[in-house]
């Protein structure tokens, strides 16, 4: 039986500094309102870097430019503009993204190819470049160390998020740390990345190793979260390693990076637009990990499952439906499947009236785990999502206004 859902992914209550070798600048340049919308985090020198991005055919200029600039697997800075995605903006939008990257590079004294960029917000609108240029002109390098914390960075990249998302972990056997921030509450069904997440570490790690490790961790965390089945045009996940703390053991680095990414993943799922409950779906006994993940995603993405969880309706048949619609998985045999909500087995055991009452009571909690065993082999996967509420509809019906 899996362990109960933990609450370790709750946002940090205290301010977390950026790792050694990094400093930040956070400001409001008037992209949409009076909240912070312009973030730059830069290192004192070149860093090992890795990133993964959306596979959307409408990928924005920020994704295009950052992909290009990460070909050498190194970078010195990242700039994020929130509340404007700069997507579907044509040649002008691409030129504006390149101008911003060049402006940051000019300020910190590096090549434009050493600056990454991410954007998030409304699609189809050009940046207000007069305001952005004023924001670039206000940059003064070097940034004051410790003046900007990870919490400031997390707040500066928010759009409809209700809380800033921050996590940190120490790399065992060293004094190196990994600090991560994320934003995202809607348009989330990752495909090789998710929303925007930035991770910074003072660990020294080889460029090629960092790339392999980062992709593996993202696949097991951010690529396993879904709010509404919609893949963003701007999904960006980036990690920069300053190396100031010296070399670390790869296994220890992987463990710490996974801890940070998993915490941020759960924070994103918990803060889904209009969400009131975190849903965790564990599928085991699958043919392999890929099959387990497909089935788990079918469950967590089902509007009927999500609304049943929201209403604390003990209708476990909706989970059976979601498994059943995976029609290409021909080795799934309903006679071998077990469905549980938390500790409550719903199928194949018959659920009597008392069992339905117990299940309904379980579903009133803030965190709900759905555990499905397929009885095929030893493949397993865990994914995270949230319930579907009328708040989600209201937020997205009114989004651009």
Q: How far apart are CA 98 and CA 213, in angstroms?
A: 29
Q: Are the C-beta atoms of residues 69 and 113 closer than 8 Å to each other?
A: yes
Strands of 367-373's sheet in order across: 344-347, 338-341, 367-373, 278-286, 379-386
Q: Are the C-beta atoms of residues 83 and 131 closer than 8 Å to each other?
A: no
Instruction: Give which of 38, 82, 73 is closest to 240, Cα–Cα.
Output: 73
Active site residues: 194
Q: Are the C-beta atoms of residues 368 and 381 closer than 8 Å to each other?
A: no
Q: Are the C-beta atoms of residues 180 and 167 closer than 8 Å to each other?
A: yes
End-to-end CA distance of the chain: 46
At a CB cut-off of 8 Å and minimum separation 6, what does 66 contact? 51, 53, 116, 117, 118, 236, 238
């Amino acid at each position: 039986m899996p362990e109960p859902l933990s609450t370790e992914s709750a946002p940090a209550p205290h301010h977390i500094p950026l790792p050694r070798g990094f400093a930040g600048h956070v400001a409001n340049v008037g992209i949409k309102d009076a909240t912070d919308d312009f973030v730059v985090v830069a290192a004192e020198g070149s860093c090992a870097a890795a990133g993964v991005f959306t596979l959307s055919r409408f990928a924005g200029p920020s994704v295009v430019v950052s992909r290009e600039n990460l070909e050498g697997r190194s970078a010195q800075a990242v700039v994020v503009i929130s509340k404007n995605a700069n997507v579907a903006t044509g040649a002008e939008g691409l030129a504006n993204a390149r101008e911003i990257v060049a402006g940051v590079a000019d300020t910190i004294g590096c090549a434009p190819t050493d600056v990454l960029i991410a954007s998030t917000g409304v699609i189809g609108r050009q940046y207000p470049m007069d305001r952005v240029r004023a924001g670039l002109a206000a940059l003064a390098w070097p940034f004051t160390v410790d003046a900007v914390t990870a919490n400031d960075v997390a707040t500066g990249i928010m759009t409809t998020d209700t809380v800033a998302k921050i996590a940190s972990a120490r790399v065992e056997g060293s004094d190196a740390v990994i600090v991560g921030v994320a934003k995202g509450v809607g348009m989330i069904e990752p495909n090789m990345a998710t929303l925007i997440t930035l991770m910074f570490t003072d660990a020294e790690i080889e460029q090629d190793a960092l790339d392999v490790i980062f992709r593996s961790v993202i696949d097991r965390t951010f690529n396993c979260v879904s709010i509404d089945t919609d893949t963003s045009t701007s999904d960006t996940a980036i990690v920069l390693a300053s190396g100031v703390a010296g070399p670390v053991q790869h296994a220890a680095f992987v463990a710490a990076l996974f801890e940070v990414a998993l915490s941020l993943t759960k924070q994103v799922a918990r803060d889904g637009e209009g969400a009131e409950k975190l849903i965790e779906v564990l599928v085991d006994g699958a043919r392999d990990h890929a099959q387990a993940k497909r089935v788990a995603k079918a469950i967590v993405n089902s509007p009927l499952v999500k609304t049943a969880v929201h209403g604390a309706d003990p209708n476990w048949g909706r989970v059976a439906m979601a498994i059943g619609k995976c029609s290409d998985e021909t080795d799934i045999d309903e006679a071998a499947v077990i469905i549980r909500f938390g500790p409550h087995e719903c199928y194949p055991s018959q659920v009597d009236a008392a069992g339905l009452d117990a299940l309904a009571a379980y579903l009133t909690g803030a965190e709900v785990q759905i555990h499905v065993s397929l009885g095929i082999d030893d493949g397993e996967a865990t994914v995270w999502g949230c319930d579907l509420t009328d708040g989600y509809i209201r937020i997205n019906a009114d989004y651009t206004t």
